[in-house]
Structure 1
Amino acid sequence: MPGFYPDPTICRVGEDYYLAHSSFEYFPGAPIFHSRDLVSWKQIGNILTRRGQFLPGDRRASGGIYGPTLRHHDGRFHYVTTNGSDAGSGQTIVTAEDPAGPWSDPVFVPQAVGVDPDLAWDEDGECYLTWAGTVAGEEVNGIHQGRLDLKTGEFVGDPYPVWQGTGLAAPEAPHLYRIGGHWYLMLAEGGTERGHTVTIARAERPEGPYEACPANPVFTHRSTALPVQNTGHADLVETAAGDWAAVYLGVRPGGFTPQFHVIGRETFLAGVDWVDGWPVFDAGRYELTPADTAFADDFSGGLDQRWVSPGGEPAAVAAPHPEGGLELREPGDPSPGLLCARVRDLRWTATAQFTGSGRFEVRIDDRHKYGLLFADGRVTAYARIGGVSADLGSAPAPEGPATLRIDAVECDAATLTAYGPDDIVLSVQEAGGAVELARLDGRYLSTEVATGFTGRVIGAGAVGGSSRLHRIAYTPGT
């Protein structure tokens, strides 16, 4: 799953596999996909489509929807997550009979304070919530668990600590499984950066005591030269054929040391074998055909599921124009006011066609973005890096609709220490071709610079009161 699709969680119902993710400040939240073969996936919806399910809270970058778990039990799908912009609600649980939706109003678990919640059931139907954090009113931080009443969001008895991992930094992302005669508790440790790992332990009961796998960590790419790094936050699934697989997150960094990843934490697939009662990961088992990431959208069919807004609502930013395309508007809230789609490739070209006015940008957050502004008959390139903003090259807009263009291309650095993951080229399209207005260092739109948990998106927004968006097209490069 290329691009900003982190914290994967997977479940199977019969021959069908379902894969969901965190999505942080972007709304609608929690994209969900379907597959029959584990290697080709189609988005079937977003789980959190109503603000009552995903309260905007502080709307901050890298707030919002954190690491989730997707499970199917007793005829219903269950999705549990943390809204990092509304921490007072604790954990959030929604359910559905159809994974494409609609999903229920949420049940909150305020006593579970922290992130990365997991749901599992025992043979008697008792539900266990496991998470990384604390119990409300207490100070002990770690991996906690409790028996949960799903109807009320209250614990049956007091929550308790379980296995805390192997001693590496940041034990988190617990997933609890009943496999064979044991309960397995799988964690992410080492932090979601270069030291990321997968560790596991087993017990006879959900609450433990747990025996750690002697081969921990059971999966990691730390201290290797492999092109995929930061691997961890895994979730297991038994296939319809009785084999096992795992989804996990990783990144594809580029450029000179310390290297930079720009399109976020992505989802990868591994095979899993069981040896002496423990999982052994095989990252090279599956042969994947590259996903078809290209699209061209004139919005004639409404908003595709790819379109999301950071900290706000797509409906507040864009509405159908009576003559086609979209009328873009200022949202009337503190959000950036953008209609966004995830960047899914390391090299790519995107264009946006406007009349009247408009802006088109590539961004990680509101403090790290490059873009083009079309207004008053001119197109101007701009950049913001942290607290510094600048207008760059400018050119007259062509007659009629203006086509703004952004390319992510190979870095053209004069020195090794300036060699980044890519260059971003900002242009305006004219009859004779693209007129380049700025070429900018892609390192500044990386997670290593911007920090946080998200990746690049392209976004379109209004400038003044006469912004009409006709079309956006995106094509991967080489």
Structure 2
Amino acid sequence: MSSTPERGNPISNPVIPGFHPDPSICRAGEDYYLACSSFEYFPGVPIFHSRDLVHWTQIGNALDRPSQLRLPPDTNSSGGLYAPTLRYHDGRFWLIVTNVSGDGNVLFTATDPAGPWSDPIRLPGVHGIDPDLAWDDDGTCWCTVAGVSQVRIDPRTGETFGEPRRLWSGAPGAKAPEAPHLYRIGGYWYLLIAEGGTERCHGVSIARGRTPAGPFEPCPANPILTHRGTDHPIQNTGHGDLVQGPDGSWWMVFLGVRPHGGTPGWHVLGRETFLAPVTWVDDWPVVGEVSPAMAAPPWPLQEPAVVPVRDDFDLSELAVGWISPRSRPAQNCTTKERAGWLTLRARGESLDDSEVTFVGRRQQHLSCRTRVLVDPAEGRGGMVVRLDEEHHYEIEATPGQVQVLARIGPLRSVVASHPTAVGPVVLRIEVTATRQVTDARQGPDTVSLGVEDAKGAFVELAALDGRYLSTEVAGGFTGRVIGAYASAGTVHFDWFDYEPIED
């Protein structure tokens, strides 16, 4: 029996859950492609594909070679790649992004969005973050950046022409005008921006003009999207991008978060990608209802992709969803050394080190279970829930013993120890979201760490408050990543299993 949702049945929002912020979308024929920020992680800028705007499958990472993405070892967490714009023009895909820790604004092209993408075209004359690309009727390419300012460029060479000029920058006095996107729709050029900062006051506003340079008239209903000052379950809504659906309707993808727990509410998955319908009134866009279970678009939906919850590391290369902080040298991470195993060779001495050998996947569900079979005979390593170098919980194995460790800001401690048989051991982490708040100080979830016994039963060694692995505590722009690491010697992993725990 097909599991394809019927028209009118609700669909799950976010459409791309987990740490997938700053979505930018484009359409090529009947296909839709979407890119997100990746910050300090390598490979950079995940690329997704959909035929219905609802079900998305990651098909690659645009920056998957060291020649494309230079992130020095001292790159801060929440540094790296900010706010890509993805566009389809003249038979090619164009991706422009800011590397705040290296090359500044850079541009890439591809004929297939799954890759390979070109080496970077540097844009030394484009200053600012969150760059956008738009083409005029005569082929002129305009690059607009946060602030908001604009300059004409040659996207094939990176050359700029003339001085940047200031454009409309949102409401007077509004914080952080950013994420500009410029569109030609009907008889107007529309300038869409985010403002208010990417926290609870985030929002989307828009203005229109007759030319790409303006002057721009602000929409009288601005902000056209915000959840500031509300108790809506989706907060921090902003950083939007518009696209036309297959039936001619309009839609917006944007980022938001799902806070849980008591006051002030903590979000742990990072900023996620949401979808909302858009209608037009008097040539202004009106954003429709944003809901965790929104009405399905009025067209047939594709069969949802089956995403494997288990990786047995049988392929010669890692799947596209695996990411590592800053770099992933082949000599430190490979599936070719021991057939059917992931081999990690330690660089840094712990997860506090910016050069730690770590391979993880984004946590995408509020409650989930992860398991890994680790052989620590030649070293020390295990499984971790990571937000950054100063905020992580891990369970670490050495021959005959496991330890639960916690790093919370300046504090690092061994929480629990447990003897094991010498040899491979199954480590397990369960994240359980808070469902009912009984105390205003109650955290968003509980992170339980332990091992499995010979019969597969969970032996819990520690249950830790998840608020300390949240953006509200740690700061920054990223979300949790769960994965495997090595902190001494060489450690082998036979499989990694991630599965959501349903409400």
Q: Is the 2:356–2:487 Cα contact (8 Å) retained in structure 1?
A: no
Q: 1:40 — aligned with what? A: 55
Q: 1:345 — aligned with what? A: 365
Amino acid at match of 2:157: T
| 1:210 pairs with 2:225 | no
Q: 1:371 — aligned with what? A: 394
| 1:462 pairs with 2:486 | yes
Residue 219 of structure 1: how far off its partner (Å): 0.9
Q: Is the 2:261–2:437 Cα contact (8 Å) retained in structure 1?
A: no
Residue 166 of structure 1: how far off its partner (Å): 1.0
Corresponding residue SS for 1:448: helix
| 1:431 pairs with 2:445 | no
Q: Distance in 2 between matches of 1:402 and 1:366?
A: 25
Q: 1:449 aligns with which of 466, 473, 490?
A: 473
Q: Render the CA deviation track for 1:201-255: whole Å, top value 9, x for unaligned.
A: 0011111111000110011111112111100100000123211111000000001
Greater mean alpha carbon deviation, residues 142-151 or residues 344-353: 142-151
Q: Distance in 1 between matches of 2:251 and 2:437?
A: 44
Amino acid at match of 2:230: T
Q: Render the CA deviation track for 1:332-374: whole Å, top value 9, x for unaligned.
A: 7952210011000000110111112422100100100000110
Q: 1:70 — aligned with what? A: 86
Corresponding residue SS for 1:338: strand
Residue 399 of structure 1: how far off its partner (Å): 4.7
Residue 161 of structure 1: how far off its partner (Å): 0.6
Q: Is the 1:270–1:286 Cα contact (8 Å) retained in structure 2?
A: no
Q: Render the CA deviation track for 1:79-131: whole Å, top value 9, x for unaligned.
A: 00001211xx3311000011111101111112222211000000000000000
Greater mean alpha carbon deviation, residues 396-405 or residues 110-119: 396-405
Q: Distance in 2 between matches of 1:156 and 1:74?
A: 21
Q: Distance in 1 between matches of 2:424 and 2:356?
A: 24
Residue 152 of structure 1: how far off its partner (Å): 2.5
Q: Distance in 2 between matches of 1:390 and 1:414?
A: 28
Corresponding residue SS for 2:205: strand
Aligned residues with identical type, % of pairs: 52
Q: Distance in 2 between matches of 1:42 and 1:128?
A: 30
Alignment of 1:78-477 (within 5 A): 78-86=94-102, 89-132=103-146, 142-167=147-172, 168-284=174-290, 286-287=295-296, 295-301=309-315, 302-313=317-328, 315-320=330-335, 321-331=337-347, 334-355=354-375, 356=377, 357-411=380-434, 416-432=439-455, 433-477=457-501
Corresponding residue SS for 1:408: strand
Amino acid at match of 1:50: R
Q: Distance in 1 between matches of 2:63 and 2:249?
A: 31
| Structure 1 residue ranges without an equivalent (≥5) | 133-141
Q: Is the 1:188–1:196 Cα contact (8 Å) retained in structure 2?
A: yes
Q: Distance in 2 between matches of 1:193 and 1:334?
A: 26
Q: Is the 1:56–1:64 Cα contact (8 Å) retained in structure 2?
A: yes
C-alpha spacing 1:390/1:413, structure 2 compared with 1 (3 Å) = farther
C-alpha spacing 1:413/1:181, structure 2 compared with 1 (3 Å) = closer
C-alpha spacing 1:62/1:291, structure 2 compared with 1 (3 Å) = farther
Q: Distance in 1 between matches of 2:487 and 2:493?
A: 11
Q: Is the 2:132–2:144 Cα contact (8 Å) retained in structure 1?
A: yes
C-alpha spacing 1:220/1:397, structure 2 compared with 1 (3 Å) = same
Q: 2:3 — aligned with what? A: none
Q: Is the 1:128–1:148 Cα contact (8 Å) retained in structure 2?
A: yes
Amino acid at match of 2:154: D
Corresponding residue SS for 2:17: coil
Residue 63 of structure 1: how far off its partner (Å): 0.7
Greater mean alpha carbon deviation, residues 398-407 or residues 176-185: 398-407
C-alpha spacing 1:277/1:415, structure 2 compared with 1 (3 Å) = closer
Corresponding residue SS for 2:473: helix
Q: Distance in 2 between matches of 1:411 and 1:269?
A: 25
Greater mean alpha carbon deviation, residues 58-67 or residues 447-456: 58-67
Amino acid at match of 1:74: D
Q: Distance in 1 between matches of 2:489 and 2:42?
A: 24
Amino acid at match of 1:129: C
Q: Render the CA deviation track for 1:53-102: whole Å, top value 9, x for unaligned.
A: 1111342200111011100111110000001211xx33110000111111
Greater mean alpha carbon deviation, residues 279-288 or residues 262-271: 279-288
Q: Distance in 2 between matches of 1:77 and 1:197?
A: 28
Residue 413 of structure 1: how far off its partner (Å): 10
TM-score by length of 1: 0.94
Q: 2:39 — aligned with what? A: 24
Q: Is the 1:317–1:339 Cα contact (8 Å) retained in structure 2?
A: no
Q: Render the CA deviation track for 1:6-42: whole Å, top value 9, x for unaligned.
A: 0000000111000110100110000001111111111
Q: 2:4 — aligned with what? A: none
Amino acid at match of 2:366: L
Corresponding residue SS for 1:444: helix
Q: Is the 2:260–2:434 Cα contact (8 Å) retained in structure 1?
A: no
Corresponding residue SS for 1:315: coil
Q: Distance in 2 between matches of 1:440 and 1:311?
A: 28
Corresponding residue SS for 2:296: coil
Q: Render the CA deviation track for 1:297-338: whole Å, top value 9, x for unaligned.
A: 111023111111011216343212334211111247952210
Greater mean alpha carbon deviation, residues 216-225 or residues 150-159: 150-159
Residue 283 of structure 1: how far off its partner (Å): 3.1
Q: Distance in 1 between matches of 2:307 and 2:500?
A: 7
Q: Distance in 2 between matches of 1:107 and 1:260?
A: 39
Q: 2:11 — aligned with what? A: none
| Structure 2 residue ranges without an equivalent (≥5) | 1-15
Q: Is the 2:393–2:407 Cα contact (8 Å) retained in structure 1?
A: yes
Greater mean alpha carbon deviation, residues 154-163 or residues 406-415: 406-415
